[in-house]
Amino acid sequence: MTADGPAIVVSDIRKSYGDLRAVDGVSFTVAEGEFFGLLGPNGAGKSTTLEIVEGLRKPDSGSVRILGESPWPRNPKLLPKLGVQLQASSFFERLTSKEQLQTFGSLYGVSRSAAVDMLELVGLTDKADVQDVDLSGGQRQRLSIACALAHDPEIVFLDEPTAALDPQARRNLWDVLRAIQARGKTIVYTTHHLDEAEILCDRVAIVDKGRIMAMGPPAWLVRKLDAQTQVIVEHGTVTADVARTLPGADNVVDDGVSIIIATNDAGLTIKALGELDALNKAQVRTATLEDVFLHLTGRAYRE
């Protein structure tokens, strides 16, 4: 095992289901302690990729190394170091949160009390004696994450942990994910939420149709796009014709509610607007991962 090498090395993995290329030549590496996100629309191949990396599926070709070892065929030496949350939460029947954790922990030889500590991390201590069927969707997600962490793994795989959560629950879960990373874990996770990935991930890979379209730190991907900034001012503060004359302004749209000024030099444009006293309720919108996605796939991102 390499001490300081990358935690995960994925080289050109492929997986087809009949004619469908679910994963079509995916390669990436994840450093130890890194928070890595796989983003993409439904059916992009995120789960399949993740399952191949975890060792649940055999790739048609390509190789995976986790901490220097191959996860396929089932590698009992590696398994204790991996924590996995599957896309649909998987629980034993009719057990309480506490018992779920103890049982999953026991599969890894973890003491009953250590397993239960995880409830605190995910904020479910008050639900310790509630059965999984009586938990809310967000609580189930959190329990499912806790079960993945019960044996204190080095690398954590989470498949859409924030799916189907309300905004508040999502933000709570972000705190949980950050806390996991703060413990020094390597995290690989998938999500539909580009905004969330931008906030949480050290690096992301944008996946579409089984391929990685772009990969890197979110800010870097956005900057590389070299997209224009949009300055949005309230309708009536300046006219579209005036806006077009502003320094830096490129394309101006008046949608009846706002004047949207696409600018190559946001600083100059905003300064000029300030001199016109037109900055009341103005918004500045810089490019996001969504724009990167749009640019890469030529279609708007739909969650």
Ligand X SMILES: Nc1ncnc2c1ncn2[C@@H]1O[C@H](COP(=O)(O)OP(=O)(O)OP(=O)(O)O)[C@@H](O)[C@H]1O
Using the rule CB under 6 A, is 164 a contact of ligand X? no
CB of 139 to other proteins, least distance (A): 17
CB of 47 to Mg ion, least distance (A): 3
Quote the DSSP letter at residue 4.
S
Rounded distance between C-alpha atoms, residue 144 and residue 135, angstroms: 11
Q: Which is nearer to other proteins, 94 or 302 (CB)?
A: 94
Q: Which partner, other proteins, Mg ion, ligand X, none, binds residue 112 by CB below 5 to 8 Å per kind?
A: other proteins
Q: Residue 177: count other Cβ atoms within 10 Å of its Cβ.
A: 21
Cβ density class 106-131: b for 16+ within 10 Å, e for less: eeeebeeeebbbbbebbbbeebeeee
In the list 10, 36, 37, 46, the residue contacting ligand X (rule: CB under 6 A) is 46
Using the rule CB under 6 A, is 44 a contact of ligand X? yes
Using the rule CB under 5 A, is 47 a contact of Mg ion? yes
Amino acid at 115: A
- Number of residues lying near other proteins (CB under 8 A): 29
CB of 193 to other proteins, least distance (A): 23
Q: At 179, give phi and psi (nearest 5°).
A: -65, -35
Using the rule CB under 6 A, is 43 a contact of ligand X? yes
**Residue 66 · residue 218 · CB < 8 Å:** no
Which residue minimizes CB distance to ligand X?
A: 47
Rounded distance between C-alpha atoms, residue 29 and residue 14, angstroms: 16
Q: Which is nearer to ligand X, 48 or 229 (CB)?
A: 48
Q: Which is nearer to ligand X, 210 or 248 (CB)?
A: 210
Using the rule CB under 6 A, is 16 a contact of ligand X? no
Rounded distance between C-alpha atoms, residue 192 and residue 248, angstroms: 34
Using the rule CB under 6 A, is 19 a contact of ligand X? no
Q: Which partner, other proteins, ligand X, Mg ion, none, binds residue 22 by CB below 5 to 8 Å per kind?
A: ligand X
Q: Residue 88: count other Cβ atoms within 10 Å of its Cβ.
A: 10
Using the rule CB under 6 A, is 48 a contact of ligand X? yes
CA-CA distances (angstroms) from residue 168 to 119, 144, 171, 223?
19, 18, 5, 29
Q: Which strands sit side by side in the sheet containing 35-39, from one edge to the other?
A: 82-85, 155-159, 186-191, 35-39, 203-208, 211-216
- The distance of Cα 52 from the centroid of its chain, to the nearest Å, equals 18
CB of 33 to Mg ion, least distance (A): 25
Draw the binding track, 72-101, toward Mg ion (x: CB under 5 A; -: no contact).
Answer: ---------------x--------------
Binding to other proteins, residues 66-105 (CB under 8 A): 74, 76-77, 79-80, 82, 84, 86, 88, 90-95, 99, 102-104
Using the rule CB under 6 A, is 45 a contact of ligand X? yes
- Number of residues lying near Mg ion (CB under 5 A): 2
Which residues does 140 contact at the CB level (< 8 Å), separation at least 6?
Answer: 89, 91, 132
Q: Residue 213: count other Cβ atoms within 10 Å of its Cβ.
A: 17
Which residues contribute to the site for ligand X (CB under 6 A)? Answer: 17, 20, 22, 40, 42-48, 87
Which residues contribute to the site for Mg ion (CB under 5 A)? Answer: 47, 87
Which residues contribute to the site for other proteins (CB under 8 A)? Answer: 54-56, 74, 76-77, 79-80, 82, 84, 86, 88, 90-95, 99, 102-104, 106-109, 112, 131, 147
